Structure 1
Amino acid sequence: MISVADLQRRIDAGELSPDNAIAQSLEAITAQDKAIGAFVCCTENVRAANAGPLRGIAVGIKDVMDTAEFPTEMGSPIYRGYRPRADAAVVMMLKQAGASIIGKTTTTAFASMDPTPTLNPHNKGHTPGGSSSGSAAAVAAGMIPLALGTQTGGSVIRPASFCGVAAIKPSYRLLPTVGVKCYSWTLDTVGLFAAGIDDVARGLSAMTGRPELLLPHTIPTPRIGFVLQDFAGAPETSGQAALRIATRAVEKAGAYVRALNLPQIFADAWAAQPIVQEFEAHRALAWEYREHYAEMAPLLRAKLDGSRDTTPAAYDAAIGIANRARQALEKVFDDGDVLLTLSAPGVAPKGLGSTGDARYNRLWTLMGVPCVNVPALVAEVNLPVGVQVIARYGADAQALAAARFVEGALARR
């Protein structure tokens, strides 16, 4: 994979020009993407910016985000050839930081369930996950150093786990969703994929202009709450192994680890998340569902068919549960700086019939808290599995630092 930190070091030292860094990504895309299918479209007519912390960094943009220079088709024939007049806010944030937008990466239709043709770079017989399929795969294959995705259920953290890359779903609204196709306004969150935790931190810091997100020279030893999420069902063998290995590694590195049992309100919130998600999706996708029903992707259409009778009262009750769970979560963090839990049930599913299960992600998306995927092991048939580090709302710097501690502990085990 291509490291943002390494590129920045070489560019700053004069060892590599920003334009040559972009050219390396273009060459990698030409060499690999026919076999992986991570990009919807790409350009060779891109030059590096003259200034900015991300100059020389080629970035892929999930194709639910508006781009003035590329079509924004949202994984759906309904928007084939659609050309926005302006960039999404997050795309402009990247450009203002000096990044070069190299192309649009594949997404499931409207960032929902229907798989893309994208293949997992580690084993092409398996999915890369979704809905940010192309962004995770492009970074994992070493085509680009940084990519944007979105998460409504588990669409950043889960594909990062399946593809063996670092990723962050930041605190809700740290990154604006202006110009991003809405699925659920309560849940939709823009996130980043990169090779390692330091690379993710550098990308997020540069985009937001927040130097406090950069990793400190000395990573403090965190207090970690170990969470199984029993209400979400049992993990697969590989997911269980990833969490066990990560827990042992951080304990060996000196971290205090305590098993936490989440109160019942979190099981209730986990069950409420789909109600919030699909009630809002019916409103966000009302035009597409009513005017282009036959062209809707089949799994998404069936999901909307099955949830169209959800009442406002049920939605209001689900929102109330979510609010109570967010308040309860503050007390959970009294026993630990961060939480450590599963990123996915296990390795990426075989074939392209499914993008995987978001059951270990959806509670934390509803809570709006920062989540960071850390690759933990490579399991059977060369497929990665990750774990996720979760911090309080707004404590994105703490989440990144603790994730770097976990990453380092795993590297030394």
Structure 2
Amino acid sequence: MTHPAELSATDAASRIAAGTLKAQELAEAMLDVIARREPGVRAFAHLDPALVRRQAAAVDAAPAKGKLAGLFFGVKDVLDTADQPSQYGSPIWAGHRPRTDASCVALARRAGAVIAGKTVTTEFATRFPGATTNPHNARHTPGGSSQGSAAGVGAGMLHLAFGTQTAGSIIRPAAFCGAVGFKPSYGTLHRAGMKVMSESLDTIGVMARSVADAARAMSALTGLDHGPAEAPRAPKLALVMGAMAEAGPETAPHMERVAEAARRAGATVTPITLPAACDAAFAAHAHVMHMESAQALAWEIDHARAQLSPAMRTNMDWAMAEPPAKLVEARAAFAAAQACFADAIAGYDAVLTPSAPGEAPEGIEFTGTPVFNTLWTLLHTPCVTIPAGTGPRGLPLGAQIVTPRGQDAAALMWAEWLRRALG
């Protein structure tokens, strides 16, 4: 018999709804995993087992069981929780206790999820990392900025977790930690109760153990069916390799293997080059991200500058020294790229592209570069990374599926098709 902690989110929630598994039984099994793995992984910024047990008991007592009943859902610590601290990865906000949940957290609770704890984020979901390690090798980074969420799912301590992405903060850490990461279309999950940094970019998404589990979470949170539906046929995939100059040596042969597996399963995989407008938007990303972040952190910069990391102070000083017109120009570059992307991949079902530059880098001081994610974030498209084997050091590698904005269910469908093709 499968141990409760090893059940998929879909199976666990279904058993709880059917009455063949108690949420309290599942909670004890998951807390045992956390007790074993957390000292090395350090995924949690806040963890209260007694609170977890009370939530599980409430799930069992409820007459109706939601779609996420009893599931352990981690919350990245840039999202507010009414019953746990929300500290945004910064000493400035140490001990902060909001009065309300973020919208996405409230919706997860409404669907029956157990909010297992707050997961470690880099400072304000930017670059300065926390203490989290990669669950597959503690000498390596889990990625960032959603590092605790990715590591918690990858270590089996969580069924699901919220992440946020401004450049590559869902897809890259999920790939590094061997998890599924889903960044939905921009604006799909409401950002009320989030410590927003970049108004034009920040997107809330989920991490999961499988595509089906990610789809279940999104269906529960939005009320819209995210499948994943059975693909009607093999897809036509546009292969976009992106910034290969910054990729590890394992990335090109890895993507060749992924593309060949897709072809053997019947897919058409065609290398394409995106329009110059996409390159211009990619180059403009730093201006939008940092200049909007400098606006978001106006209070912290003015009143608590000494408690910002040196890297954050450097980036904010640079952003504030740039002329305001640069932000207007950069946003216009985003709009131009967004306007041409659907036409650029017309005739294809989805884009196939690397999830990250390769395996997770050694050391936890650097979370890796988001160069294989930045474009898709600014285009506001849905993106899915799936585990796709391991690299030369035995660490996870991912493969990423991207579809046009609004085609979220299709992105999950083609990601599941690719997962099956990879075996």
User: Do they superpose with TM above 0.5?
Assistant: yes
Q: Quick one: which amino acid aligns to residue 85 of structure 2? A: P
For 1:80-159, list aligned pairs within 5 A.
80-159=94-173
The answer to whether structure 1 residue 228 and structure 2 residue 233 are counterparts is: no
The question of whether the paired residues in 2 share the 8 Å contact of 1:132 and 1:156 is answered with: yes
Unaligned 5+ residue runs, structure 1? none
Is the deviation greater in 97-106 or in 307-316?
307-316
The percentage of aligned residue pairs carrying the same residue is 40
Change (3 A) 1:55 1:167: same
The question of whether the paired residues in 2 share the 8 Å contact of 1:348 and 1:383 is answered with: yes
The question of whether the paired residues in 2 share the 8 Å contact of 1:219 and 1:401 is answered with: no
Cα displacement string for residues 243-291 of structure 1 (whole angstroms, at most 9, x for unaligned residues): 2221111111111111111111111111011111111001001111121
The answer to whether structure 1 residue 187 and structure 2 residue 201 are counterparts is: yes
The question of whether the paired residues in 2 share the 8 Å contact of 1:338 and 1:402 is answered with: yes
Aligned to 1:172, the other structure's residue is in SS state coil
Q: Quick one: which amino acid aligns to residue 81 of structure 1? A: G
Aligned pair partner of 1:350 in 352, 362, 369 = 362
Offset of residue 219 of structure 1: 5.2
Q: What is the RMSD of the two structures over their aligned residues, measured on CA atoms?
A: 1.3
Is the deviation greater in 319-328 or in 128-137?
319-328
Aligned pair partner of 1:240 in 247, 252, 269 = 252
The answer to whether structure 1 residue 382 and structure 2 residue 394 are counterparts is: yes
The answer to whether structure 1 residue 215 and structure 2 residue 207 are counterparts is: no
Q: Quick one: which amino acid aligns to residue 156 of structure 1? A: I
In structure 2, how many angstroms separate the alpha carbons of the residues matched to 1:302 and 1:353? 17
Aligned to 1:335, the other structure's residue is in SS state coil
Aligned to 2:204, the other structure's residue is in SS state strand
Aligned pair partner of 2:271 in 246, 249, 259 = 259
In the other structure, the counterpart of 1:365 is 377
The question of whether the paired residues in 2 share the 8 Å contact of 1:121 and 1:163 is answered with: yes
TM-score by length of 2: 0.94
Q: Quick one: which amino acid aligns to residue 131 of structure 1? A: S
Unaligned 5+ residue runs, structure 2? 1-5
In structure 1, how many angstroms separate the alpha carbons of the residues matched to 2:311 and 2:109? 35
The question of whether the paired residues in 2 share the 8 Å contact of 1:343 and 1:373 is answered with: yes
The question of whether the paired residues in 1 share the 8 Å contact of 2:231 and 2:417 is answered with: no
Offset of residue 229 of structure 1: 1.6
Offset of residue 218 of structure 1: 4.9
Aligned pair partner of 1:285 in 282, 297, 304 = 297
Is the deviation greater in 371-380 or in 390-399?
371-380
For 1:50-61, list aligned pairs within 5 A.
50=62, 51-61=65-75
In the other structure, the counterpart of 1:62 is 76
Aligned to 1:382, the other structure's residue is in SS state coil
In structure 1, how many angstroms separate the alpha carbons of the residues matched to 2:322 and 2:234? 45
Cα displacement string for residues 36-76 of structure 1 (whole angstroms, at most 9, x for unaligned residues): 10001112223332320100101110000000000000111
The answer to whether structure 1 residue 23 and structure 2 residue 36 are counterparts is: no
Offset of residue 221 of structure 1: 2.1
In the other structure, the counterpart of 2:3 is none
TM-score by length of 1: 0.96
In structure 1, how many angstroms separate the alpha carbons of the residues matched to 2:239 and 2:277? 18
In structure 1, how many angstroms separate the alpha carbons of the residues matched to 2:159 and 2:7? 5
Offset of residue 181 of structure 1: 0.2
Offset of residue 220 of structure 1: 3.7
Q: Quick one: which amino acid aligns to residue 177 of structure 1? A: R
- Number of aligned residue pairs: give it: 409
In the other structure, the counterpart of 1:160 is 174
Change (3 A) 1:93 1:43: same
Offset of residue 102 of structure 1: 1.2
In the other structure, the counterpart of 1:250 is 262
The question of whether the paired residues in 2 share the 8 Å contact of 1:369 and 1:393 is answered with: yes
In structure 2, how many angstroms separate the alpha carbons of the residues matched to 1:325 and 1:388? 20
The question of whether the paired residues in 2 share the 8 Å contact of 1:279 and 1:315 is answered with: yes
In structure 2, how many angstroms separate the alpha carbons of the residues matched to 1:152 and 1:129? 14
In structure 2, how many angstroms separate the alpha carbons of the residues matched to 1:107 and 1:220? 39
The question of whether the paired residues in 2 share the 8 Å contact of 1:132 and 1:159 is answered with: yes
Aligned to 2:107, the other structure's residue is in SS state helix
In the other structure, the counterpart of 2:43 is 38
In structure 2, how many angstroms separate the alpha carbons of the residues matched to 1:219 and 1:345? 31
The answer to whether structure 1 residue 330 and structure 2 residue 342 are counterparts is: yes
In structure 2, how many angstroms separate the alpha carbons of the residues matched to 1:187 and 1:166? 21
In structure 2, how many angstroms separate the alpha carbons of the residues matched to 1:137 and 1:234? 24
